[in-house]
Amino acid sequence: MDERQLRILRELGELGSVTAVAEALLVTPSAISQQLRLLQRSIHVPLTERDGRRLVLTPAGQALAGAAIDVETALARARHTVDDFVGRPDGVVTLAAFNSAAAAFAPLLLSAFSAPGSPRLALADEDVAQDRFPRLTRDYDLVLAHRLDHAPAWPRTVSVTTLLREPLDVAMPAGHPLAAKRHLLPHDVADHPWICVHDGFPLMATIDAIAAAANRRLDIVHRVNEFAVVAEVVAAGGGLALMPRWTARPHPAVVLRPLSGVHAGRRIDVLHRPERTARRAVVTVLTELRRAAATIRER
């Protein structure tokens, strides 16, 4: 049993197939299979089993894959200690964020880390379907991700810090008849055209909940993920939309109204692999993200 074999087992549990693991680790599927066979020889209980055409982890394999996290964390700490990487306050920290979080958090972080000796941020925008956010932790130190409050929890293979629990409001043109109401119910909004995100993205579950509460299907006219574009379409009379209360930039021709009768809110979380916080620079950025979240909430 060695570090590479344990990592392959961990990746198999996360990615779900030998082919996907091979692509992620830039090796051939046969090489992955060989390492899994070598690992199995050192363990007296089966680690994998067939589920149709897929190779999946047995309960013992899942347990060992979980232990692999601790192994990788310990080895990461050892390597960082050797090269003095752990203690460097000015190291590069890679941060991925979905669009509205990037727009809200990036200016605050860049301002906070403008002085010499601060962590050096390398930012990237990654607006992906909810189930793909955990995979990004393989490529980035920190990942800003969002999910609805009642959605399934993130997998235990990643560490999670919640930054915001943000309400989702109904956006409409300033002169819209519904703008006169202080609170809206599903039946108030169900007969209007809608602008929604693409299928697979977190807000769609709330759209489905509105339709269910109103007992009718919503008329989804436009599919747009970027909230800045959504605001422009709303302002032009293209329909109603769900908008986050704090992280979306205000539009002078758009008003937001709270929605009652369904659970309309999302979490903005930081995801990372546990070993990433062995680095001082990553911990510093994580701490600053919490401060930035408080600033965004109080605006």
pLDDT for the residue numbered 69: 87
Low-confidence ranges of the chain (pLDDT < 70): 82-85
pLDDT for the residue numbered 214: 94
Model confidence pLDDT, tens digit, residues 37-57: 999 998 889 989 988 878 889
Beta strands in the chain (DSSP E): 48-51, 54-57, 92-97, 120-125, 142-148, 159-173, 193-196, 219-223, 240-244, 254-257, 265-272
Structure tokens at 130: 């909810």
pLDDT for the residue numbered 76: 79
Tell me the CATH number for domain 165-265: 3.40.190.10
Amino acid letter, residue 185: L
Distance CA 215, CA 42 (A): 57
Which one is the CATH code of 3-82: 1.10.10.10, 3.30.450.40, 3.10.450.50, 3.40.50.410?
A: 1.10.10.10
Task: Bin 98: left if φ > 0, else alpha if -120 < ψ < 50, else beta.
Answer: beta
DSSP codes, 2-26:
-HHHHHHHHHHHHH-SHHHHHHHHT
pLDDT for the residue numbered 111: 96
Q: Phi and psi for 45 in degrees, rounded to 5? A: -120, 150
What is the β-pairing status of strands 265-272 and 142-148? antiparallel
Name the nearest CA neighbour of 273 among 27, 26, 77.
Answer: 77
pLDDT for the residue numbered 82: 66
Q: Is the dihedral of CA 279, 98, 14, 265 positive or negative?
A: positive
Q: Do domains 3-82 and 165-265 have the same CATH topology?
A: no
CA end-to-end span of the chain, whole Å? Answer: 52
CATH fold for domain 92-164+267-298: D-Maltodextrin-Binding Protein; domain 2 (3.40.190)
Distance CA 263, CA 101 (A): 21
pLDDT for the residue numbered 182: 92
Structure tokens at 292: 């930035």
User: In the chain, where are the structural domains located?
Assistant: 3-82, 92-164+267-298, 165-265
Rounded to whole angstroms, what are the CA distances from 25 to 32, 139, 187, 245, 290? 9, 11, 50, 40, 32
Which residues have CB under 8 Å from 84's CB, separation 6+? Answer: none
Single pTM value for the model: 0.74
